[in-house]
A and B are shown apart, each in its own frame.
Chain A
């Protein structure tokens, strides 16, 4: 029985027999000639070595959330319509949210605003306005 079959029977990957370390060669060569120096056959003649096409993704630096409110009592909450459809037709969602607050949390003051621009543009003037008017919280939506 050859070594490959024996390892397979023992539940050991034949890749291990090839002895190719996964992370041993991470620095790319700088010329095509240097690349050609790498052999495509593994030590087992039935295996082959290939380049990894995967791109490493770098995680974004973490940004903390703003501290939360201890309660909504007496607070001013802005209900911002994202204007997903563009026709100003979805603020009915904000109106129904407003009605919910009126019924269930009547001490909360709610103000409906429609975000300017379209769904791919920001509206920094509105965020500035909310801050200037002492908005305590924002509910922004709906996108989909």
Chain B
């Protein structure tokens, strides 16, 4: 909202007041103003929640108080348009209160005090970190050919604020997470993708590593692939959390406002695909994305839901049917099925899905939900309804359907993905709504 209000003010010189809930206001007048927009937009704080409230409640809100100034809300809006600008609001150019540069080394201190300092600064996941001594960071840097002072990315903060960081910073964080030097290229590749997705909703990330590096660094794609019992999976997932906090600057209540958040965020679901166990014709994830089989690639997925098959595949109900049933509770924006190799074999060999795309096409045609349930999901409605009103098919056709009419929410079969991993001890799977990015080269960071 700051961007829109800022454009109206800057480009057209029209005074503007932005009205928003507490989270947007807090971010807008603090971190977003200081690091992103530079414009001190005048915000008025509107009570929350407002969506779905009856007119009587909205009227109370309108007659109530602005949570920023404490004034009557409409008076605050009028003042926002008419009160003369302060000296601070007239400033242009370089900000006068630039923070001092960060020293490369911290003051020497005891290990306990440094652990406490790291916790206090928000640089940990509240487990002890490995203290990044110069020797440990130097050893970590042996994991890449890139120079320590090379800039990995310039805009790393939430919503792209300017936080340039170097290879040495990522190596420092890799040490803190407990990484081995051979993990560093994966962590560097992951760090190029900041800022990671945050939301007031319970969004989470998932990391899938593909290609030869999986085996080279000992990642687990087999027994217990999604569990905690593998060093590389656990540590790389942890490193992503620390990159999120330290490099991106993620702080709940300052730059993040996830109301409930999501336990899937604890280790970012880091695992590898079992490419060797894919049925014939089923391509590895990274090859589907256009990379070579010999490339090493890390893919970051973003999503909300992780539905467990609970038990194994039954003889009397083919796996795609239960997948279809469970997926009807997902939004339809995207899906990723994570399945044991035994499930992939059943789908390919017994059910006739010769490729991952064949499975996606069948599910796209067979998953159904009612129109009212489809539009009842706020991620769907907020992202797609405005585009549907502008004529985007097939969603435009669904807007005015009777609520109980069934629609096929996964209209795009290419939005349904499959990743194979697991120990072949049970024909189990997960149906998720995770959406992949296009994959990032790890080889470039070796």
Contact = CB atoms under 8 A, between A and B. Distances in A.
Interface of A: 14-15, 18, 20, 22-33, 35-44, 46-72, 77, 82-90, 92-93, 96-97, 100, 104-105, 115-120, 122-124, 127-128, 130-131, 135-144
A30 B149 contact: yes
Nearest to B168: A28
A50 to B, nearest CB: 5
B33 to A, nearest CB: 8
Contacts of B168: 28, 35, 51
Given A47-B108, A50-B105, A70-B82, A140 B14 contact: no
Nearest to A20: B108
16 contacts: A20-B108, A26-B101, A38-B134, A42-B108, A48-B111, A50-B106, A53-B118, A57-B157, A66-B10, A69-B82, A85-B378, A136-B14, A138-B17, A141-B1, A143-B21, A144-B21
Interface of B: 1, 3-24, 33-42, 44, 46, 48-52, 55, 58-59, 61-62, 74, 77-78, 81-85, 89-95, 97-111, 114, 118, 121, 123, 131-139, 141-142, 147-149, 156-157, 161-166, 168-169, 172-173, 176, 200, 242, 246-247, 249, 375, 378, 380-387, 389-390
Contact of A56 (B4, B99, B111, B172): B99
Contact of A140 (B16, B83, B85, B94): B16
A78 B211 CA distance: 54
A53 B92 contact: no
B107 A66 contact: no
Contacts of B78: 72, 105
A61 B36 CA distance: 9
Contacts of A138: 5, 8, 14-17
A63 B10 contact: yes
Given A18-B109, A62-B94, 7 more contacts: A37-B134, A86-B385, A96-B55, A115-B4, A127-B11, A138-B8, A142-B21
A68 B85 contact: yes
